[in-house]
Amino acid sequence: MRGLKIGALLCAGFLIPAWAAPTGKLETPPLITTPEATPAVVPSTPAQPDIRQSGFVYCVSGVVDSFNPQIANGGVMIDTIAAQLYDRLLDVDPYSYRLIPELAERWESLNNGATYRFHLRKGVSFQTTEWFTPTRTMNADDVVFSFSRIFNAEAPYHMVNGGHYPYFDSMQFSDSVKSIRKVNDYTVDIELHNADASFLWHLATHYAPVLSAEYANNLTRTGMQERIDRQPVGTGPFLLNEYHPGQFVRLYRNKGYWRGSPKMQQVVIDLGAGGTGRLSKLLTGECDVLAYPAASQLSILRDDPRLRISLRTGMNVAYLAFNTGKAPFNDRRVRHAIALAINNPRLMQSIYYGTAETASSILPRTSWAYDNESEITEYNVEKSKQLLKEAGVNNLRLHLWVPTASQAYNPSPLKMAELLQADLAKVNIKVTIVPVDGRFQELRLSDDAHDLTLTGWATDSNDPDSFFRPLLSCAGIDSQTNYALWCNQEFDQLLSKGVTSQDLSMRIETYTKAQKILAEELPVLPLASSLRIQAYRYDIKGLVLSPLGNVSFAGVYREKSETNNK
């Protein structure tokens, strides 16, 4: 076996992926390879059932830094894995966009919207894993623990693994939540300092899972609290079995799932290929589902009778962020000049192939707060040059940071970066492209190393606050979700006004004013809002594509082998 790359085995003369290698009995999962450990070739043991009989392979590009969405900053954990491992108090119906019950059977608003009372579902079991066996079902203690960890700086687990909760930190939720109180074993009150019309929507995102307080207590007794984010325990349909960084995640079915046992015994999330490599895997059958295929590949996918394609309008936006914390982007004339130099129609044609629309606001058009009077920035090279001249700027040398993985909002970020580079060269701006991985980007974008960042945002919330506050609020700078490093007090005041009002028309008016400030100041340049796309093998059934993010795989099955999974 020497000389083989980790992630593949040489078997009978053929190179096969590591996830297809035998790992022993399927129903007796081994401990995972933890994120900080060195992945190893899986030893030769009695063969497990073939993946095509016992499960399916989901291919997606990305990096997994943690198995707790509370501390995640988007990416594969939120888009794909969280819905498999965990449940939330509330969910969002993928068709009606309405809040629906999940672990909370029902809820009510008290004190004019300043307190929310949640009545919990009974009989919900936590997962039994190699590292934890629960002795009770989910109750109010688990809900209080889960959210106290995020919102209460004095909570025992708040500082475990860094004490950063990017999504909620950007919302300033620690300042918003007054108390979290257990009323009885199945009732919890969350009291806010002020009414917040967006609060329930934030609890319905995948950033807000319910964790096991009993598991946390066990870890505390053994002094291994940090494992709570690496060896997950949730109430979701699948539990973590195996993880090899940069290669794959293997999930096994949670037989005790409160909604009924998932139809497939296992799911493999293949992280190991990008670009055309993932397409090849789908065409050869190594992948059963391909997340976020490049729009340029759609004609190939449509012509293959073995494949199916799902498309849905998405709550997402791709945008270019200017580092407003330093020259020359502390001058809004320069920001507008860059916007005028970008040929957006060419981006639509070369990157999205008809699967997106040019964005005129940081909010997608499907948002109820979208300003219909927003105008798309024109493409005008001469006007761009004139603005740069007025700002006293010439021969700029800039660094453009670009994530390498395809996302729901941008299937080909590096190719888009090259197009932007060519556009800006026409106004005498030389751009150096800096490809970065997700975690590296998060750690470095808070300093002055970058000038421009090509990024985006996708959310599983239909509330506009889920776009505005993480991406553009002053608090978003510290949480490293505001890549523009832009802080505007007037804008922040509008955001606060928007969430405290219970009047929808008042909220729309407030957010319209906020969008007009963004159009004038232009800390970020919205580029595109794209359709969500998934391609999958013809025999995969029950796969739901949501505009608000991925959903549970519990109902997915393979038509030809369904009888083998009972």
- Quick check: pTM over 0.95? no
Q: Contact at 8 Å (CB) between 519 and 375?
A: yes
3-state SS string for 122-143:
CCCECCCECCECCCCECCHHHH
Question: What's the pLDDT score for residue 547?
Answer: 73
Q: Contact at 8 Å (CB) between 365 and 434?
A: no
- Residue listed under structure tokens 């995020």: 150
Structure tokens at 160: 């475990």
Question: What's the pLDDT score for residue 314?
Answer: 81
- Residue listed under structure tokens 């009888």: 563
CA distances to 25, 255, 264, 302, 536 from 542, rounded to whole Å, are 26, 19, 11, 20, 11
- Residue listed under structure tokens 């100041």: 521
**pLDDT (tens digit per residue) in 137-158:** 999 999 999 999 999 999 999 9
Structure tokens at 135: 């002795």
Question: What's the pLDDT score for residue 313?
Answer: 82
Burial of 72 per CB tally in 10 Å (0-12, 13-18, 19+) = buried
Q: Contact at 8 Å (CB) between 514 and 494?
A: yes
What is the helix (H) or strand (E) element at residue 168, kind and residue range? helix 166-170
CA distances to 156, 332, 473, 505, 524 from 517, rounded to whole Å, are 41, 12, 13, 19, 12
Beta-strand pair 316-322/524-537: antiparallel
* pLDDT of the chain, 566 residues: tens digit per residue: 333 232 333 233 334 466 665 444 444 444 444 444 333 333 333 345 578 789 999 999 888 989 999 999 878 899 899 999 999 999 988 777 788 999 999 999 999 889 999 999 999 999 999 999 999 999 999 999 999 999 999 999 999 999 999 888 877 788 889 999 999 999 999 999 988 888 999 999 999 999 999 999 999 999 999 999 999 999 999 999 999 998 999 999 999 999 999 999 999 999 976 656 778 899 999 999 998 888 888 889 999 999 999 988 888 999 999 999 999 999 999 999 999 999 999 999 999 988 899 999 999 988 889 999 999 999 999 999 999 999 999 889 999 999 888 888 998 999 999 999 999 999 999 999 999 876 544 555 555 678 999 999 988 778 899 899 999 999 888 878 899 999 999 999 999 999 888 788 999 999 999 999 999 999 999 999 998 889 999 999 999 888 776 789 999 999 864 444 44
**E strands present in 237-373:** 238-244, 248-253, 266-270, 289-291, 307-313, 316-322, 356-358
Question: What's the pLDDT score for residue 174?
Answer: 81
If phi > 0 it is left, if psi is from -120 to 50 it is alpha, else beta; for residue 192 that is beta
Q: 93: which DSSP letter? A: -
Question: What's the pLDDT score for residue 50?
Answer: 73
- Domains and their CATH numbers in the chain: 21-35+48-64+237-306+538-565 (3.40.190.10), 87-217 (3.90.76.10), 316-531 (3.10.105.10)
Calpha distance 89→101 (Å, rounded): 7
Question: What's the pLDDT score for residue 40?
Answer: 33
350-388 burial, b at 16+ Cβ within 10 Å, e below that, comes to bbbeebbbebbbbbbeebebbbeebeebebeeeebbebb
What is the chain's length?
566
Calpha distance 414→503 (Å, rounded): 42
Q: What is the CA radius of gyration of the chain?
A: 24
Question: What's the pLDDT score for residue 444?
Answer: 55
Calpha distance 139→508 (Å, rounded): 37
CA distances to 11, 138, 552, 562 from 57, rounded to whole Å, are 20, 30, 14, 15
Calpha distance 125→256 (Å, rounded): 7
Calpha distance 24→246 (Å, rounded): 22
Calpha distance 526→537 (Å, rounded): 34
**pLDDT (tens digit per residue) in 206-240:** 999 999 999 999 999 999 999 999 999 999 999 99
